[in-house]
Structure 1
Amino acid sequence: MKKNIIANLIGRFWGILSNFLFIPFYIKLLGFESYSIISFSLMIAGIMAVLDAGLTATLSREFARTDKNEEEKKKIFTTLETIYYILVVLCITIIFLFSKTIATQWINTPYFTDNQITYFLRILSFEVGFQLLLRFYLGGFLGLERQVEANLYQIAWGVVRNAIVLIPLYYFPQLDVFFIWQAVTTILFTILLKMILQKRLGNNMFSFKTKIDKGILKDVGSFAGGMMLIALVSILNTQLDKITISKLLSIENLGYYTLALALAQGLIILVNPFSAALLPRFTAFYSISKKKEASELFAKSSLIISVIIFTIMMVMSFFAKDIIWIWTGDKKIAEKSYHIVPIILLSYTMLALAILPYNIAIANGNTKFNNILGITSLVLTIPGYYIFTKKYGAMGAASVFCFVQIFVTLIYFYFINKKYLFLNFYIDIMLRRFIFPLLVIGLIVLCLAYIPNYFEDNRILSLTWIGLITFTTLILSLGILVPKTELFTLIKFKKIKN
């Protein structure tokens, strides 16, 4: 598991690094108005992720199960892949057909014509469709516990898709060039991943087989259906703020809001390596009724994750304006977006901390509570986003998002613990994983923030200074909050055998 966590850390670190490296170049080469359209395209991709219908999570879970043989896994793969082909065609068709309507009735910008935006969206339809399929194949690698391999492919795809695109953009700084490059890159990498995954399953790399086994659908249908509902509710909860902003405010407001989100999403990226490595392990434990071992693994890993997440959140909140300026090189952009960052950071901190109990639920095939809680939260978000965005702008949307995530995460921890973990909720979870880390880390960062920054006019040295504060905070927090036995024994869990 140590190797898998390291591989996932490298892969997710690349995700964070690529945000910091490339978004400023996109803004510089294409202009902030074009970046705002790119932000809108990301929202479209997020919404269309509902078409995954829980199939990626189902594939990962079925591949991770120790009670399934190789032939059964091959049949599951063929059935789910065939369904996915249908969903990809549906995704491309929906975006392509409604592109004109979206351009004329949804996007508010004076910088592009309706016909230009329609053209961009039609190119985007192919990139979004094949990106769904690519992530489906990556889910297969993760389920087989091939995290190292999966992350190598994901990094390579990111380099070609997000970094090398800067070369054509330098000579042809046009938004359609950006979208065409991303679409072609994603299609080619999707084909490559399909071939390699088929080889890992013992199939012919070049075979193209489609078949839907009704027995398999019946077997995994309940889990996949629950995952689909989770995905739908999750998309509404995570995209509704951006949908509301794009409808009620100018597209530039969405751009500033998305910058804040891009910073905060690094918290999710930090947790995902642990999540990807731990989910197959939790699944294996629960599939052979080793509940005590699963609970022990959760206790060790969740405390470390809490310390890491709260450290990053606190440092980024205190230095939000400096970080955006360092990142974009534009003080005007920093002035217009930094005030949203602490609220968004707290929201994503809650989302990040909820990933591990979510893994516990998925490992047990339980999707019902996620759906109940997610649907309940929509009662707050649907009217909340509209009312507060209209009255307070992007800050209103961020505040509603933050309140809902805190509320949902605490309730979610309570019920997952009660059903599967059996820890003391108020001491082991609320105190040790929320309140105490937040207070200790906040106090450390507050003290360090009072040390004068003599490099505030130099972006590189300022980044180094903030990095030093982050590292110091993390080391001190781990030393205070995490027992050495928990810090060093997490990596000693062996591969589970039936």
Structure 2
Amino acid sequence: MYKPISLKKNTIANYIGQLYVMFIGIFILPFYLEYLSAEAYGLVGFFTMLMSCMVLLDVGLSITLARETARLKDKVNGLIELKKITLSIEVFFVVISILIFSAIFSGSGWLSTHWLDVKELSLATVESTIKIMAFMIVLRWFIGLYQGSIIGFERQVWLNKYKVIIATLKFFGAYLLIVFISNDIVDFFYYQLLITVIEFVVIKLKIDSYMKISKRVVPSILTLKQIAPFSLSIAYASAIWVFITQLDKLMLSHYLPLHEYGFFTLVIVVSNAILQLSQPIGQALLPRMASLLSNGKEKEMIELYRKSTQIVSIIVLAVSGVVATFSYELLYLWTGNSEASAWAAPILFWYALGNGAVALLSFQYYMQYAHGDLKYHVRGNTYFGFIQIAIIVLSVHFYGAIGAAVAWFGLQTVFFLFWPWYIHNKFASGIHKDWLFKDIAPMFSVSMLYLFVLKNIGIEFGENRIVVFLTFIIIGILLLLLNSLASNYVRSIIKDFVVRKKHAK
């Protein structure tokens, strides 16, 4: 019998796991730049971009499996149906994986000579690296599918322990490799492939242990057809969204010299970290919202939705604001490379603010996902998506990386101003005003005022990186505390705690 794990435990586990993975990746990256060179690290950024683009071929099945798991896990005979769905998706993935692998492996020569602007590395080295990427992309595609299922089972405590161990092997192991054994980029990717194989085997065995059933089931095309409407809605919207989010990175991988693309990878890592700050709550929230609605508890679902919005606003608005306001200081603290920091800082400013808006925009998707109705998600991504694609293409072509950054911020800000209002009116009429002005605006106002004051009093960070680090810690903690006090949800928690303490006395 399925035993649910508390939302609080899952959320805490998600944040611990996410922060650890983010921290270790950010901590190790300057060493990669030092020992691998900016151009070699540009290949790592290129691989990351390719991985993100693979979502286009997922056709929404990973997210669909997560939702089907959340829906079926506590139903009579639910595991039998879930096992059939999983097997059917796996067969589909195998077929598509063969095509993906063949395309990347056979196209490695063209990519290394005609797409990437290579100055220092040999073309043979770049081609070999891309061939290794082909193996890793296929395996990580399956890993993403299985992670979605574990999220649906709400076994996120285990998932985050697994992520922490894999991240340690992936980053610290690679650090030891390039420092003490070999700093050849090909050896670096062979090591990453080894860890990816281990990652795949472990999570596959774990999923199989959750779906042990006595009845034999077989994959079925009919099963795929049954989940197709929801899956294809996600696939279409995801395809446009992934194309929008990766188009600038794809174009810049061609427009920029590979060593500058290595600098641009710094921007990608930091700005993506802002998006990842909302993912732990999203991972815990999606299956719980779907479960509450399936059991007729809409009021509880909306209350959870609004509380979660406030928590994400406290964190995301503080982090994106600090990163944007002090982008050069942060990059210098991180890399110790003044050239890279000066090049990337103005670009990071706009991407940080834009991704802060995207993190809050995610909530309107959560609402649609919980209801199992993504037609508005599809329409919104279609209409606004084509506008974004046109603007990004023109911005990158004429203004390069800084043009892409400014365009990204402007587009996401405009989308945030009207799209959540529209979705809330469709699925939870009457909540948008409170959601915007009570759940987000107080933290936004506090963050803006605080950072405006700090910027204008002219804080001297100095050149000592330890001093810079301590200054950032103090600035960040103070803003998180101020944002927390601006949240009526957090204030109610504090009030309840004080009352309980008084009664205990």
Q: TM-score range by the shorter chain?
A: over 0.9
Deviation string, structure 1 residues 198-234 (Cα, Å, up to 9, x no partner): 0122259xxxx99422332122111111111122111
Paired letter, 1:459: R
- Consecutive unaligned residues of structure 2, counting only runs of 5 or more, are 1-6, 498-505
**Distance in structure 1 (CA, Å) of the matches to 2:470 and 2:386:** 44
Matched, 1:344 2:351: yes
**Distance in structure 1 (CA, Å) of the matches to 2:445 and 2:147:** 38
Deviates more, 1:449-458 or 1:373-382: 449-458
Matched, 1:169 2:178: yes
**Distance in structure 1 (CA, Å) of the matches to 2:122 and 2:331:** 30
* Partner SS for 1:115: helix
Matched, 1:471 2:477: yes
* Partner SS for 1:393: helix
User: 1:9: Cα distance to partner?
Assistant: 0.3
Corresponding residue for 1:495? none
Let me know the Cα RMSD of the aligned residues: 2.2
**Mapped contact 2:118–2:257 kept (Cα < 8 A):** yes
User: 1:460: Cα distance to partner?
Assistant: 2.1
Corresponding residue for 2:502? none
**Distance in structure 2 (CA, Å) of the matches to 1:86 and 1:451:** 60
**Distance in structure 1 (CA, Å) of the matches to 2:58 and 2:492:** 37
| Match for residue 464 of structure 2 among 435, 455, 458 | 458
Give matches, 1:371-450, under 5 Å: 371-425=378-432, 427-449=433-455
**Distance in structure 2 (CA, Å) of the matches to 1:433 and 1:261:** 28
**Distance in structure 1 (CA, Å) of the matches to 2:27 and 2:143:** 23
Deviates more, 1:337-346 or 1:389-398: 389-398
Corresponding residue for 2:37? 31
User: 1:450: Cα distance to partner?
Assistant: 5.5
**Distance in structure 2 (CA, Å) of the matches to 1:287 and 1:377:** 31
CA separation of 1:159 and 1:266: change in aligned 2, threshold 3 A? same
| Match for residue 14 of structure 2 among 8, 13, 20 | 8
CA separation of 1:44 and 1:483: change in aligned 2, threshold 3 A? closer
Paired letter, 2:34: K
Corresponding residue for 1:494? none
**Distance in structure 2 (CA, Å) of the matches to 1:184 and 1:385:** 37
Corresponding residue for 1:178? 188
**Distance in structure 2 (CA, Å) of the matches to 1:168 and 1:110:** 24
**Distance in structure 1 (CA, Å) of the matches to 2:55 and 2:221:** 24
Matched positions, count: 486
Corresponding residue for 1:228? 235
Paired letter, 1:282: M
* Partner SS for 1:354: helix
**Distance in structure 1 (CA, Å) of the matches to 2:43 and 2:481:** 40
CA separation of 1:488 and 1:373: change in aligned 2, threshold 3 A? farther
Normalising by the residue count of structure 2, what TM-score does the alignment of the two structures yield? 0.91
**Distance in structure 2 (CA, Å) of the matches to 1:70 and 1:388:** 49
| Match for residue 293 of structure 2 among 255, 262, 286 | 286
**Distance in structure 1 (CA, Å) of the matches to 2:151 and 2:224:** 21
**Mapped contact 2:143–2:199 kept (Cα < 8 A):** yes
What is the identity percentage for the equivalent residue pairs of Structure 1 and Structure 2? 25
| Match for residue 44 of structure 1 among 47, 50, 54 | 50
Corresponding residue for 2:169? 160
**Distance in structure 2 (CA, Å) of the matches to 1:135 and 1:388:** 32
Corresponding residue for 1:353? 360
* Partner SS for 2:277: helix
**Mapped contact 1:253–1:394 kept (Cα < 8 A):** no
Give matches, 1:132-143, under 5 Å: 132-143=141-152
- Consecutive unaligned residues of structure 1, counting only runs of 5 or more, are 492-498
Corresponding residue for 2:260? 253
**Distance in structure 1 (CA, Å) of the matches to 2:28 and 2:495:** 37
**Mapped contact 1:389–1:396 kept (Cα < 8 A):** yes
Deviation string, structure 1 residues 108-150 (Cα, Å, up to 9, x no partner): 1211233322211111100111011111111111110000001
CA separation of 1:23 and 1:489: change in aligned 2, threshold 3 A? farther
CA separation of 1:386 and 1:449: change in aligned 2, threshold 3 A? closer
CA separation of 1:114 and 1:96: change in aligned 2, threshold 3 A? same
Matched, 1:238 2:245: yes
Corresponding residue for 1:108? 117
**Mapped contact 1:22–1:163 kept (Cα < 8 A):** yes
**Mapped contact 2:329–2:461 kept (Cα < 8 A):** no
Deviates more, 1:446-455 or 1:265-274: 446-455
User: 1:88: Cα distance to partner?
Assistant: 2.4
